[in-house]
Chains A and B, each alone.
Chain A
Amino acid sequence: MSEADMELETKLIDRAVQEREKILQKAKARAATILQKAENEVERIKRDTERQVVNIVGSELRAVSDRIVGQAELEGRETLMDARKNLLDSIFEEARERLNEIAQGNTETDYHNILKKLISEAIIAIGEDEFIIRANKEDLEYLRENLSDMDFGITGIDFRFAEEAVNTMGGVIVENRDGTKIYRNTLEGRLMTVRQEHEAEIAQTLGLI
């Protein structure tokens, strides 16, 4: 075998091997592409399926969410309302204590002048000429001694005092002669009315609303 023949043979073998490799590489690359496309298609099918399942059971899922989130909202609102109520309770308790101090004469505020105004308000509201006054023990004592000196700006009115003292920190309960009209003007009563009528305003002052 000549050297030229050997060289030719080597070249033929090299070319054939290269060609074989090329054929196999190309096939493997195409196979990889086919599998990749299939994987993409599988993913798409799964996504579409999940979407369709969610559509089918959507209301059930919404109910689950509504139940859990709704419960949290409810509990949250209750906690918030409790906190608001507790704050308002403590504020009104503080106000009650202040009023008690005023009624006890422990402040600079003239409680006897307040008492006079409370009686005046009651007799104007009842609008008759004979009244029965109820009050706590201390106020009754004071009124028994001083009521005749008080000027209510109305003439021809007559007062009597109830035998028994009422349990109140201050103020009066005024009735007409036959007890058909009663005007409760105690400090507790007025405090309660303020809470009923002005709670929103007070809540606003506290920054609650």
Chain B
Amino acid sequence: MNRILSMGGRLQRLLEEAESEADRILSEARAEADAMINEAKEESEYRLSRAQRGTGIDDLIKSEEEKAQKEAQKVKERYLSRVEEIKGVSTEKRKEAVNMIVEEVIPE
């Protein structure tokens, strides 16, 4: 019986140690979380203050340039497609236009 009581005490300590370990895990997690959030906030404040001074926005400018280049490419392609249409005007239309001009030049 004494042996079992002694065992109970050891097991109780084991559980107390587990509780302590759990507390340590949670405490470390909270500290890590706080550090992450604080770092993000500091970075945010730094970035905002630089933006207000007009510096540190190179990445945004670069990203905007890339976006604009893509848009510009679409614009160029749109115009080139219209140019191709013009170059491909049918012989009938050309003939019709030439006739129209000649008729206008020659007096009735």
List the interface of chain A (C-beta within 8 A of B): 1, 5, 8-9, 12-13, 16-17, 19-20, 23-24, 26-28, 30-32, 34-35, 37-39, 41-42, 45-46, 48-49, 52-54, 56-57, 60-61, 64-65, 67-69, 71-73, 75-77, 79-80, 83-84, 87, 91-92, 94-95, 98-99, 102, 109, 114, 117-118, 121, 187, 190-191, 194-195, 198, 201-202, 205-208
Contacts and interface: CB of A to CB of B under 8 A. Distances in A.
B102 A38 contact: no
Contacts of A1: 3
B61 A61 contact: yes
B37 A48 contact: no
Interface residues of B, number: 69
**Chain A at the B interface: mostly helix, strand, loop or mixed?**
helix
A65 B102 contact: no
B94 A95 contact: no
Contact of B14 (A16, A118, A205): A16
B7 A12 contact: yes
B101 A92 contact: yes
12 contacts: A12-B7, A12-B8, A34-B33, A35-B29, A38-B33, A45-B40, A52-B48, A61-B64, A83-B83, A83-B87, A95-B102, A187-B105
A98 B47 contact: no
Nearest to A34: B29
